[in-house]
Amino acid sequence: MNCRDRLEALTGVLRHWSGLWSRSILQNWPESGAAYLESWLSYADSLDEKSERMLDDGELPGAPPQSLHSLLLALHGLTELPWHQGIQRLTTADVQGLNAKKAHEIERVLSLLGQRTQSIRQAVDIGGGMGHLARLCVKTFDWTFHSIDRDAALQEKGRDWLRRARMLPGEKLCFIHASVEDGPQSAIDPLFSGRDRASMGLHTCGPLALTQIRKSQKAGFLLNVGCCYDKLDPSRDYPVSSFGEAHQLPFTRHALFLATRGRHKKTEAEFALMKRVYEHRFTLDLLLRRKFPDLGFVRAGDAPKALYAESFAVYARDRLERLRIDIGMTESALNSFEGSVRPETRRIFHCHLLRDRFARALELVILLDRAILMEEMGFQVELLQVFDPRLSPRNIALIASRAE
């Protein structure tokens, strides 16, 4: 894949629709809804719940508008990435201490590394936790491995596990209690430097992925899986490549949050819960806007999952009590209000379903920009889907090898 060609084509499509994905729907309602083509909204309004779920999966049931069909077809083609197919099965002893998600990820990472790291002798892992990836890399490749984490208690659990397991020579795996930060860090920077060094970062949160990339400029190999794009600063963390600077999009914090939302198909129960959460939240927002317009947008906060199974009145009273707002309405009046605004909350929900179609494309723009930065540093780069998105939705790995 040519990262530059893909980024240029993707940003060309997305730029035209920036009015949809760059703004929060709820915070800017009803103006935000005006950005959507009426033909799209009429189409979404015509869907039953089964078809709404299909739309949430990226499908277009029935007879969608041609403009929407063409857009989704273009985004699908531009966000397709090859898959890493290999799996290195773990033994019963290997998976001790691992949950299903972690075991799944490590099996695929070990296979990926085995095909690309013949010249590597040492490795460092950012956010290594208990050192499960580290110990299995040592066992598999006989590397010397340094696992860095700022959680000392978690690392001590890892040391204790290794002492009891007696699986590895003590000098092969070293735990380092530290935060990996931008700028010189004399104690850990040498670990990232050398053609025989590999730099690992699985699910590096927000800008930590960029810190790993900058520290690894002299490494022989880098593996990064990013996450939590909403923790990036759009004025500082995007774009990071020179080519990306020439093709940048108007990323906002709302767009960065949307980039974290791309995920695999939801189950019927997951979709139903999401819809219920949105219905209650949207209704509460419309209520506050009408009763207290001077408050502007009010953050209601995350409620316990069980609360969403209750009536709107029960949910609203809980949230309003936490916000210390006296609405002066009976339970019957609150539920009556919910019924009166249901057509509007349903339209807001449909705007969200349509806006979510941009999530994976925005994530890929961020990752392509990082990949191109690595190319500008002299690396050969791949972007591959590695994990099953049902287990690990942030499943795209940035893989960089030092170009010979």
Determine the angle formed by the axes of helices 132-141 and 100-114, rounding to 10 degrees.
Answer: 30
Write the pLDDT tens digit of every residue in 207-216.
999 999 999 9
Rounded mean pLDDT, 55-61? 95
What burial letters (b/e) apply to 80-110, b meaning 16+ CB within 10 Å?
ebeebeeebebeeebbeebeeebbbbbbbbb
Domain boundaries, the chain: 3-80+255-358
Could you tell me what percent of the chain has a pLDDT over 70?
A: 99
| pLDDT given for residue 404 in this prediction | 62
| pLDDT given for residue 60 in this prediction | 96
Of 2, 1, 10, which Cα lies nearest the Cα of 82? 1
The model's confidence at residue 403, banded by pLDDT at 50, 70 and 90, is: low
Of 383, 388, 265, which Cα lies nearest the Cα of 400? 383
Distance CA 248, CA 124 (A): 32
Whether the pLDDT of residue 165 is over 80: the answer is no
Q: Which residues, in sequence order, are CB contacts of 191 under 8 Å at separation 6+?
A: 122, 124, 146, 148, 197
Distance CA 168, CA 160 (A): 12
Q: Which amino acid is at 157?
A: K
Q: How many helices (H) and strands (E) does the chain have?
A: 16, 7
What burial letters (b/e) apply to 152-161, b meaning 16+ CB within 10 Å?
eebbeebeeb
pTM of the model: 0.95
Write the pLDDT tens digit of every residue in 212-238.
999 999 999 999 999 999 999 999 999
Q: Which two tokens stand for residue 212?
A: 């790993």
